[in-house]
Amino acid sequence: MKYYKSLQDLIENFQMYPGIGPKTAERLAFFTIQKCSKEAVESFSKSLIEAIEKTKNCKICGCFTDQDVCEVCQDEKRDNTILVVSDTKDIIMFEKTAQYYGKYHSLNGLISPLNGVGPDDINLASLFERVKSENIDEVIVATSANIDGEMTALYIKNILEKEGVKVSRIGYGLPAGGDIEYADEVTLIKALEGRKTM
């Protein structure tokens, strides 16, 4: 059975997403042509383009934003702490807990010697600059609980403890080997509360 081209194209395009295999892609494509209104599909199509065209990375923290500087970095009432993540979308996961009132910083990666990623390949230099220029009291390292995450946390601690800055690491609640992306909000709140000075 060959589908006609426009249906086949749609099925293949759906499969670029993780977790969407051939069968799910088929179901989504059929839903699109069978159950969705033309307006809904046009709105979806447009929002894909708009999202990718308007999304930038905040010049200061690296978070996704549609402005030059994100809303968190623009907010002058934020605490003088920086929560450091490896993956930009983890910022949004923590922001959704509504229990953290400080700033963020995305490393956009982790130190990983096995993969040839050194400290200069991720956004560490800008973190250390911010710690000085923004008078930061505490840096909370929220990397995942794996080897690269531990190593990156240790590297940050070694640099910043010389400067007299408190470095802590989220701990309680994040399951070993787990990924921040899949944690629920309560677990993330516990992880923030249970952080330990390194």
Rounded Cα gap, residues 140 and 99, in angstroms: 14
114 binds its own copies (CB under 8 A): no
Task: Candidates 25, 60, 62, 66: give the one binding its own copies (CB under 8 A).
Answer: 66
Q: Does 77 bind its own copies (CB under 8 A)?
A: no
Q: How far is CA 140 from the centre of its chain?
A: 15
Locate 53 and state its tokens: 């065209």
Decide if residue 54 touches its own copies (CB under 8 A).
yes
Give the DSSP H or E segment for 31: helix 22-34
Query: Phi, psi at residue 103, to the nearest 5°?
Result: -100, 175
Q: Which of 21, 25, 29, 155 binds its own copies (CB under 8 A)?
A: 29
Binding status of residue 3 toward its own copies by CB under 8 A:
yes
CB of 197 to its own copies, least distance (A): 27
- Neighbouring-strand partners of residue 160: none
Q: Which of 21, 30, 158, 179 binds its own copies (CB under 8 A)?
A: 30
Gap between the Cα atoms of 37 and 48, Å rounded? 17
One residue of 21, 59, 67, 74 binding its own copies per CB under 8 A: 67
Segment near its own copies (CB under 8 A); pick from 75-83, 92-100, 120-128, 159-167? 92-100
Residues near its own copies (CB under 8 A), total: 55
With binding defined as CB under 8 A, does residue 1 bind its own copies?
Answer: yes
Q: At closest approach, how far in Å is the CB of 100 from its own copies?
A: 11
Are 124 and 158 within 8 A, CB to CB? no
Q: If we measure between CA atoms, which residue out of 186, 143, 187 comes closest to residue 168? A: 143
Say whether residue 47 binds its own copies (CB under 8 A).
Answer: yes
Q: How many helices (H) and strands (E) does the chain have?
A: 8, 7
CA-to-CA distance for 94 and 179, rounded, in angstroms?
Answer: 13
If binding is defined by CB under 8 A, does position 151 make contact with its own copies?
Answer: no
The answer to whether residues 73 and 103 touch, using CB atoms and an 8 Å cutoff, is: yes
Smallest distance, its own copies to C-beta of residue 50, A:
4
Site of interaction with its own copies (CB under 8 A): 1-7, 9-10, 12-14, 16-19, 24, 27-34, 36, 38, 40-55, 64-67, 71, 88-89, 92, 95-96, 98, 181
